[in-house]
Amino acid sequence: MYIIKKVIHILIIIFSIFGIFSFILFILGYRPIRNIDTFPDWEAISAIGTFLAVFAALFITKWQNIIENKKSLQIEMLLVETNSFGRISYKEIVSDRRVDEICLKFVNTGNRKIIIDNIAFLFKNNHTGNIIPENIPQLNTNNKITLPYTLNTEEAVDLYISTIYLKNVFTQFNNAGKIIANENIVIRATDTTNKEYKLITKLSYEIFLNLTIIS
């Protein structure tokens, strides 16, 4: 589906360019039809076609270079219940399930290596709550990561944050007037080139502020 959309997008651009240049040439008096008859002026059409072919080739080459060097990081926030069977992840609050942790999943969906050097919650007025993985208590130490963290193409990493820790962090920022409780949680990651990647979740800070912790 992604490739089909890209092909359609390229074709639309090419036909748009063809229409623009045809219009300009028409205004300038350059006609693909001879004045003396109704037969096409193949020389004019050939000239336009050659020009557009060269232009399209240059455009596609540049487009391919951009795609081949694209950096893209997918961020997902999952709710996690930990029980005797392990971890169960889900995307929305479910009444009969506990929320013991959240999982921040980072997936390199681009074509270049990404080195994540900062992860943070974004609050109002550009306030940030930096997430320092090595300072976060982990229920399972096997999942512990440190920053900076290198993600090669198609690689993923999960960062688990306990609900108790998360509620304490949000409570501190809320008491300091730095967050709006009913706003959606926003997560930002930056890499070593200062490129930003954001996720606006469907969950509000209020959910965690009011969440009852079951030990």
- Quick one: pLDDT at residue 190? 95
Give φ, ψ of 211 to 5 degrees. -70, 135
209's tokens = 């502020």
Answer for the pair 185, 204: CB distance below 8 angstroms, yes or no: yes
- Quick one: pLDDT at residue 88? 78
The answer to whether residues 171 and 200 belong to one domain is: yes
- Quick one: pLDDT at residue 9? 62
> Could you tell me if residue 123 is inside a domain?
yes
pLDDT in tens, 127-140: 788 888 888 876 66
> Could you tell me if residue 9 is inside a domain?
yes
> Could you tell me if residue 214 is inside a domain?
no
- Quick one: pLDDT at residue 113? 93
Which one, of 185, 161, 162, lies nearest residue 173 by Cα?
A: 185
> Could you tell me if residue 149 is inside a domain?
yes
Domain boundaries, position 35:
2-68
- Quick one: pLDDT at residue 48? 64
CATH number, domain of 124, equals 2.60.40
Q: In this model, does residue 67 exceed pLDDT 90?
A: no
The residue out of 68, 91, 121 marking a domain boundary is 68
> Could you tell me if residue 199 is inside a domain?
yes
Which has more pLDDT, 2 or 82?
Answer: 82
pLDDT in tens, 91-116: 776 666 788 888 999 999 988 899 99
Which has more pLDDT, 187 or 50?
Answer: 187
The residue out of 68, 99, 118 marking a domain boundary is 68
Of 6-10, 36-40, 62-66, where does mean pLDDT reach its minimum?
36-40
**Number of domains making up the chain:** 2
